[in-house]
Amino acid sequence: MENRPFDLLNNAINKEVLIVLKGGRQIRGLLKAYDVHMNLHLENANELVDGEMKTNYGKVFVRGDNVILITP
């Protein structure tokens, strides 16, 4: 049973997640790692605009203080 936010993130490791950042940017990718500051390491990451892929980043590090929402 998931009781804590980090349990949800831990269950999302090696799965695709959607990240919404400050300013409305959205990045979708494979969650490889995270830390207590919500810094995220994604692989196969793409920026989305209106639900469509705009930019392919590959590997990306997202600083936790920019994260608004993470959905597995």
Give me the domain span that covers residue 24: 5-71
What is the pTM for the complete model shown?
Answer: 0.88
Cα angle 18-56-68, degrees, rounded to a multiple of 5 = 30
CATH number of the domain to which 42 belongs: 2.30.30.100
Q: Express each pLDDT in 36-56 by its tens digit.
A: 999 999 999 999 998 888 999
Number of domains in the chain: 1
- What the block records as the tokens of 65 is 């203080």
8 Å CB contact between 29 and 48: no
Residues 6+ apart with CB under 8 A from 57: 27, 29, 42, 45, 46, 47
Number of residues written out for the chain: 72
When comparing pLDDT for 21 and 7, which is higher? 21
